[in-house]
Amino acid sequence: MDTLNEIRDTASFEDILADFELLDDWEDRYRYVIELGRKLAPVPEAARNPVNKVEGCVSQVWLATQVDRSGGAPRLFFIGDSDAHIVRGLIAILFVLYSGKTANEIVSIDAPKRLGQLHLQEHLTPQRSNGLMAMVKRIRSDAEASLGEVVLH
């Protein structure tokens, strides 16, 4: 279910941050974000449902979560899509930050701080910034829910 194989093989969050710092012009940064979004695998139509729809986004956004418990601690993987190119890129950045990590790791990530390193909030519309934080909230909520499902012996 993890759709970031191509992005993951070539980029970590630190790589994205370094690329951002090399690009002086925000138009170039926007193009880079859009390019990241193009690397996301297509989302099956079945995943484009009301359960996976993220509320609080101006654009249409769907995020689906798969929890892998085979290694003990729940590890989360995500697929997602949007009808807006820039938002697809933001989804890709979030997946680099979160997908494949344990639920505890996800909950401990300070997303506003990490995303703040990219200075996105300064260059996104307030609606896009709110949508980005709605996606972060959804990912964190899914991680917290997976922790609540752990059976203690």
Catalytic residue among 16, 54, 57, 96: 57
The per-residue pLDDT of the chain, averaged, comes to 89
Of 77, 53, 74, give the one whose Cα is nearest residue 63. Answer: 53
DSSP string, the chain: ----HHHHHH--HHHHHHHHHH--SHHHHHHHHHHHHHTSPPPPGGG-STTTBPTT-SS-EEEEEEEE-TTSS-EEEEEEEESSHHHHHHHHHHHHHHTTSBHHHHHH--HHHHHHTTT-TTTS-HHHHHHHHHHHHHHHHHHHHHHHTPPP-
What are the CA-CA distances from residue 45 to residues 50, 64, 81 (Å)? 12, 12, 10
Does the annotation count 67 as an active-site position?
no
Q: Is the pLDDT of residue 3 over 80?
A: no
Query: What distance in Å separates the CA atoms of residue 44 and residue 42, rounded to the nearest whole number?
Result: 6
Q: Cα(148)–Cα(5) distance, rounded to whole angstroms?
A: 28
The pLDDT of residue 16 is above 90 = yes
Predicted TM-score of the model (pTM): 0.89
Is the pLDDT higher at 14 or at 8? Answer: 14
Q: For residue 77, what are its two tokens?
A: 């993987």
Task: Give residue 10's pLDDT band: very low, low, confident or very high (50, 70, 90).
Answer: low
Give the pLDDT score at 153: 34
